[in-house]
Amino acid sequence: MTRILGIETSCDETSAAIVDDANGVPTLRSLVILSQDVHRVFGGVVPEIASRAHLTAIVPVVRETVAQAAATLSDLDAVAVTTEPGLVGALMVGLNYAKGLSLALDIPMIAVHHMEGHLFATSLDDATAEPPFTALLVSGGHTLLLDVPAWGSYKLLGSTRDDAAGEAFDKVAKLLGLPYPGGRHVEALARDGDPSRFRFSRPMLHRNTPSDDSSYLDVSFSGLKTAVLNAVRGSTDIERDRADIARGFQDALIETLVEKTARAAAMFHRDRIVLGGGVACNRTLIEAMRARMGVHVEVFAPTPRLATDNAAMIARAGLFRYNHGERASLDHAARATAPLPGQE
Amino acid sequence: MPPRATRGHLVMSEQELIAWGERLGADSRPRLVIALTGELGAGKTTLAQAICRGYGVTTPVTSPTYALVHEYAAPHSPVFHIDLYRIERVEDLEQIGWSDIVASNALVIVEWPEHAGDLLPADHLPIALDYDPERADRRLLLAG
């Protein structure tokens, strides 16, 4: 059996988790996520505060994770840590802690790409969420459409030309006077909205785009944000219109994501779709995806705690890399941006 | 300062804004710090993308709001595209390597430069974008 501790500090969650494969199936034994609520005040991540908060939190978070798994540090076979992409100062807190553990316990350290973690997250809820599948990763910083023929082999099909999906939710929330992070507030407000009052155009969703054109699978949300802004500015009674604007925005964004994902799945004849990232918490998105795909395509969405940033997915991806003999050296550096390993 | 940065307000459609940005990018040489101000949705990212394209960046230019800094390669120098939207205190600028970036021989495009306070280099090129109160599809641009 292999037991791996995962560590994630790439943005504003300090998280640790233990995953093992005792029953032959990778299983989550414990997961602790400490969110930095201080950022709600600022409406975003503050790099210096994030680094300092990780520094304060990392030791108690790991201790609690080990205790919840009824284990001790000496039971660990390896430590997996997010090394890219993210805020470098924040990544370095987790990375340096992992290096210290690796040295002190004489166990290998495994470097994990944060977005590869998101691809593995859903498989901890449902072990059948494994390749081949089409993946849609949607978060504050990323919007990626990928084909995954096998773990470790990733074909990037499309991404955002400007704003990420979660960023669009956050900025529209701000325009509508809603709190940060904006996703669930916009979704809740949109539930009461009239879908017919504000119909925003679907960005890059022309019916006759040839499939070899890059706009066939890319997305763009900057223009949608501007359309929302124009609607807000043009409103004579924003209290009356807010829910309807939220509904119009969310419908346009979701239809775009669903249609692009459907195109990608059809292109590679995939009958499984795996969602990941914070926007994958959006029930309306999941339901729209299931409705669009029909009964022959299975749509997997992670539970909310595994959709947003967490260390369980890092431990799970780390287990995969560990089993393939990968080991990171102690001079491994954190990187702000990096393509997925094995990406073509 | 680039020769064709026009003084005074220009009223532009999105296509004109893009063409203007591409020309500014083509005329730009390092070291140059461009400070882009304007509300959410005013067109800052659209203009930044056009400037980068004109300067010779061939890879996609996406919003740096979450990553804070994006770096691109171009023929004359690297390009740093910075978004200070989420930076609330000037002390936090050093966490993204601000002083090294703005001093380097590069094209630096800064969105929400007002968040840099006194740390914005005095010799920057200011560009302000605003809505046209008359028409939703037009933008007002004030440069230099």
- Please give the order of strands across the beta sheet that includes A153-159: A153-159, A143-150, A133-138, A272-276, A298-300
Residue B8 lies in a domain: no
- B136 in contact with A, Cβ within 8 Å: yes
Q: What is the pLDDT of residue A266?
A: 96
Residue B74 lies in a domain: yes
List the 305-344 stretch of A: residues with Cβ below 8 A of B: 336-337
Closest alpha carbon to A302 in A48, A38, A117, A45: A117
Determine phi and psi for A233, rounding to 5 degrees. -70, -30
Q: In which element (H, E) is residue A174 found? A: helix A165-175
Do A77 and A16 contact (CB within 8 A), yes or no? no
**If you average pLDDT over every residue of chain B, what do you get?**
88
Q: What is the pLDDT of residue A35?
A: 82
Q: How many Cβ atoms are within 10 Å of A149's Cβ, its own excluded?
A: 13
Residue B63 lies in a domain: yes
Q: Which domains does chain A have, with CATH numbers?
A: 3-119+307-323 (3.30.420.40), 130-304 (3.30.420.40)
Q: In Å, how far from its chain's centre is CA B1?
A: 14
Residue B103 lies in a domain: yes
pLDDT in tens, A193-240: 999 999 998 878 887 888 888 889 999 999 999 999 999 999 999 999
Of A113-117, B9-13, B20-24, the range with the lowest mean pLDDT is B9-13
Across residues B48-60, what is the average pLDDT? 96
Do B139 and B12 contact (CB within 8 A), yes or no? yes
Is the model's pLDDT at B44 over the cut of 50? yes
Q: What is the pLDDT of residue A44?
A: 54
Q: Which residue has the higher pLDDT, A266 or B136?
A: A266
* Residue A159 to residue B62, Cβ atoms within 8 A: yes
Distance separating alpha carbons of residues A257 and A72, to the nearest angstrom: 43
Determine phi and psi for B138, rounding to 5 degrees. -115, 155
Q: What is the pLDDT of residue B2?
A: 37
Chain B closest-CA separation from residue A213 CA (Å): 15
Q: pLDDT-derived band of residue A45, with 50, 70 and 90 as boundaries?
A: low
The CA dihedral of A3, A117, A329, A58, to the nearest 10 degrees, is -70
The owner of tokens 């944060």 is A114
Do A33 and A305 contact (CB within 8 A), yes or no? yes
Do A104 and A332 contact (CB within 8 A), yes or no? no
In terms of residue numbers, what domain contains B47? 31-116
Count of domains observed in chain B: 1
Distance separating alpha carbons of residues B96 and B68, to the nearest angstrom: 8
* Residue A162 to residue B40, Cβ atoms within 8 A: no
Q: Which residues pair with A134 in a beta bridge?
A: A147, A273
Do B21 and B47 contact (CB within 8 A), yes or no? yes
Distance separating alpha carbons of residues B43 and A53, to the nearest angstrom: 34
pLDDT in tens, A269-316: 999 999 999 999 999 999 999 999 999 999 999 999 999 999 999 999
- In angstroms, what is the C-alpha Rg of chain B? 14
Residue B122 lies in a domain: no
Chain B positions touching A87 (Cβ under 8 A) are: 67-68, 95
Do A9 and A58 contact (CB within 8 A), yes or no? yes
And the tokens for B129? Answer: 């974008």
Q: In which element (H, E) is residue B16 found? A: helix B14-27
Residue B111 lies in a domain: yes
Q: What is the pLDDT of residue A260?
A: 97
* CATH number of the domain encompassing residue B92: 3.40.50.300
- Chain A interface mutation, best of B47, B85, B92, highest count of A Cβ atoms under 10 Å: B92
The SS3 of residue A157 is: strand
- A174 in contact with B, Cβ within 8 Å: yes
Burial letters B39-52, b for 16+ CB under 10 A, else e: ebbbbbbbbbbbbb
Residue B51 lies in a domain: yes
Q: Which residues pair with B79 in a beta bridge?
A: B72, B107
Instruction: Write down the pTM of the prediction.
Output: 0.89
The CA dihedral of A312, A315, A320, A325, to the nearest 10 degrees, is 180
The angle at the Cα of A155, spanning A154 to A161, to the nearest 5 degrees, equals 120
Do A82 and A9 contact (CB within 8 A), yes or no? yes
Nearest CB among B46, B67, B94 relative to A141 is that of B67
pLDDT in tens, B133-142: 778 788 888 8
Chain A closest-CA separation from residue B81 CA (Å): 12
Quick one: three-class SS letters along A215-267?
Answer: HHCCECCHHHHHHHHHHHHHCCCHHHHHHHHHHHHHHHHHHHHHHHHHHHHHH
Amino acid at B128: A
DSSP state of A22: T
